[in-house]
Amino acid sequence: MNRQTRRAFLGGLGAVVVAGCSSSSGPSGSTDNPDPSETPDGQTPSSTTPTTTPTPGSGSGTDTGTGTDGTTTTPGGGGSLDLPGEQVDDFESFDGWYVLSNQGELSAQTNDPYAGSQSAHVQSQSGDSFGAIYKAFTEPRDFSNANLSLAIKLTKPEIAKISVALLAPDRGNMVRMMRTMPGPTDRWVRVDFGTTTVERDPTLSSVQEIRIVGRHRDGADEPVEFAVDDLRAVEPPKKGRVMLTFDDCHETHYDRAFAAMQDYGFEGVEGIIAEAVDNRDRLDIGMMREMRDAGWDMASHPLTRGTLMPEFSERNQEQRITDNKEFLDRNGFRNGARHFLTPQNLVGPNTFDIVQEHHDSLFTFGGMPNGLTSTTNYNFGRVNATNLDAVKQHIDYAERFGQMVVLNHHAIAPDKIPEEQFKAELEYIDQAGVEVVTASDVVPQS
């Protein structure tokens, strides 16, 4: 992706650069919830476009397969996984999988499969911006007490939308889970899918079809290419969760957000830029310690000064990431420093690798709630909190489906998020049947 295209992406995500600080926000819920008729999710499958069923390849030369206890062994990154839930499909064969309405091609990826001998490789056809596959079950499947998790390896574009849709029992009664993926490309990541759209009155105990769709974020007629593997159903908790995150250490996070949240007993997560601390209109160390002592995480959110993290060299990225974390460690915020809030959202392959080496979790923009129980700590998606109606919808879905929505805030101010709107958000959370959590609640210190 060239610099101009990346800048357009940031403009679409509503990213803001203030006083040398990098922001990390995303679009309102309406942007991520298009009408189903505008995407392959809403199309009628074509019976004339079956997938080719390849012969499984030889894999990468390592021991592969699925354990008898349901755990997946030898992912693309090597080693073994001990993941929650039940495997719905391992993609070792494509029996029953078809290309949706001529939207792309399906083949076996035997080079660097996530698990087993192959993964499912999906690529758009020339001139199309979609790649889509589906599977119609011979008998209805029960997903009424399950959230879905999927391993994904995105090749292009650098920023894409991947959705999983459950037709329960038809496309007029559908649950769609659409995730914006701002990187990394060429790395296997897990996505714990959360609900973004509910059409009419789906009966999740009677799911007849599942669809997986990848598309260019802005609908451009450019190629889409990705691989998927290890589709899992996990049991959700009894209560949904909400996490309140704040970027760039604005002083309003202390004198407005922190003060208001204390009235409800809510704790939050602050994204700290070391260079901004003690500056005008920013948090000082005393404020940060008071917030920490009240249960807040002081998380790492390195300075980039308007440059996307992947545009720095690998060495420069590591320096920024480790310096910011060390600042927090030195000043008594070691627990919160375990968590990484991605500056300006884009996660390059080097960024992803470095964060995993130095941090216990990674948060970035995703535009949807996160399915629970989590299968990864390195791909929590956040939602922009500027649109109160969208925020309420995400909270409702988190409560209904046992998911976690991570809300992202910048300054609590009239031109960003007005104080009265923020208080209305807190009141709505308080009345909803959800639990407010911090990053350290979700990823405890080992």
pLDDT at position 22, please? 40
Mean pLDDT value across the chain: 85
pLDDT at 27 over 80: no
Task: Give the DSSP H or E segment for 148.
Answer: strand 147-156
pLDDT at position 41, please? 56
What's the pLDDT tens digit per position in 99-150?
998 888 999 999 999 999 999 999 998 777 789 999 999 999 999 999 999 9
How far is 116 from 90, CA to CA, in rounded Å?
8
- In percent, the amount of the chain with pLDDT more than 70 equals 81
What's the pLDDT tens digit per position in 351-383?
999 999 999 999 999 999 999 999 999 999 999
Interior angle at CA 394, CA 388 and CA 396, nearest 5: 105
How far is 389 from 323, CA to CA, in rounded Å?
38
pLDDT at position 118, please? 96
In angstroms, the Cα distances linking 250 to 19, 45, 132, 243, 441 are 11, 49, 42, 18, 23
pLDDT at position 125, please? 83
Contact 245, 382 (CB under 8 A): yes
Q: With cut-offs at 50, 70 and 90, classify the pLDDT of residue 437.
A: very high
What's the pLDDT tens digit per position in 279-311?
999 999 999 999 999 999 999 999 999 899 999
Q: With cut-offs at 50, 70 and 90, classify the pLDDT of residue 43.
A: low
pLDDT at 57 over 80: no
- In percent, the amount of the chain with pLDDT more than 90 equals 77
